[in-house]
A and B are shown apart, each in its own frame.
Chain A
């Protein structure tokens, strides 16, 4: 299995996620520059965190229109798994692969800390190594993570079970206190309708090695390795 990490000017989690992917896959992913038009044949695409294009205009807006994203959209439409983390999630909403938008945090403050997440879907290539309703601890680090969409789209997300992760208290309860950014319905990560595109604000690659203080993020990468190998 080969994975590609898309690198934009201003990406800063590209190398961290490459380390997590290498640990899960046993070899290094390809690092693909945003200005490339061609994408090699890969089994997984990761759009990493960071501040692509300095967050000019809106977070993710410029990156969504970069040359490589046309190819990423076409691969996603063809069923290739695509994982967008933090700024990657913002890019995936801006390019239309995922619905909604990540607005400025309700507190207006940059939030950088570990949060608890409840796993809502376990039948996906990304989440199959978690248990349903399992509470995992993953760091967030963002200024624009306040997920918003119109009521009709929110209802469709709930009806189609497209919500993969929600911010929760340590016991799994969906409380306002546990919501770090004001996201609608405590949404931390969503899937597209087909289930092969996942966008999430928390950073699983930041808790995927014992040296980082925990392993709660590692199952996403090992699940992808397993799913694609199957």
Chain B
């Protein structure tokens, strides 16, 4: 199984990198961009075929290492 993890800054946490990307996009002439938030994407290959157990395990990985829960949220998708 494969876990796909998105880690993003919590709402309300300032994202200067997202802001800089936003400015660059506008500088390139892309209009209509209302906001940019940047984060991380992590893929993990896992043994087993129990998607619910895999999701619980990957969530624990996020809380203990992959995300910093002070400033970040995470979401996990498991593909069979």
A61 in the interface (beta carbon within 8 A): yes
A70 → chain B closest CB, angstroms: 13
Q: Are A57 and B65 in contact (CB under 8 A)?
A: yes
- Our pick among B13, B14, B65, B71 for the contact of A106 (Cβ within 8 Å) is B14
State the A residues within 8 Å of B (CB): 57-58, 61, 65, 94, 99-101, 103-108, 148-150, 182
Complex Cα–Cα for A61 and B63 (A) = 12
B17 in the interface (beta carbon within 8 A): yes
Q: Are A108 and B20 in contact (CB under 8 A)?
A: yes
Q: Are B65 and A148 in contact (CB under 8 A)?
A: no
**Given known A108-B17, A108-B20, contact A149–B65 (CB-CB < 8 A):** no
Q: Which residues of A contact B71 (CB under 8 A)?
A: 101, 103, 148
Q: Which residues of A contact B20 (CB under 8 A)?
A: 108
Of all chain A residues, which has the CB nearest B71? A101
Complex Cα–Cα for A105 and B13 (A) = 13
The 4 A-B residue pairs whose C-beta atoms are closest, nearest first, are A101-B70, A108-B16, A106-B16, A101-B71
Q: How many residues of B contact A (CB 8 A)?
A: 10
Of all chain B residues, which has the CB nearest A58? B68
- Our pick among A94, A105, A106, A107 for the contact of B68 (Cβ within 8 Å) is A94
Q: A149-B70, A150-B70 are in contact. List 19 more A-B contacts (CB 8 A).
A: A57-B65, A57-B66, A61-B65, A61-B68, A94-B68, A101-B68, A101-B70, A101-B71, A103-B14, A104-B17, A105-B16, A106-B14, A106-B16, A107-B16, A108-B17, A108-B20, A148-B13, A182-B14, A182-B16
State the B residues within 8 Å of A (CB): 13-14, 16-17, 20, 65-66, 68, 70-71
Q: Are B16 and A104 in contact (CB under 8 A)?
A: yes
Complex Cα–Cα for A182 and B19 (A) = 15
Complex Cα–Cα for A193 and B66 (A) = 26
Q: Are B16 and A65 in contact (CB under 8 A)?
A: no
A21 → chain B closest CB, angstroms: 30
Q: Which residues of B contact A108 (CB under 8 A)?
A: 16-17, 20
Complex Cα–Cα for A103 and B38 (A) = 14
Q: Which residues of A contact B14 (CB under 8 A)?
A: 103, 106, 182
**Which of A58, A61, A104 has the most chain B CB within a 10 Å cutoff?**
A58
Of all chain B residues, which has the CB nearest A150? B70
Q: Which residues of A contact B17 (CB under 8 A)?
A: 104, 108
Of all chain A residues, which has the CB nearest B66? A57
B22 → chain A closest CB, angstroms: 13
Complex Cα–Cα for A105 and B17 (A) = 10
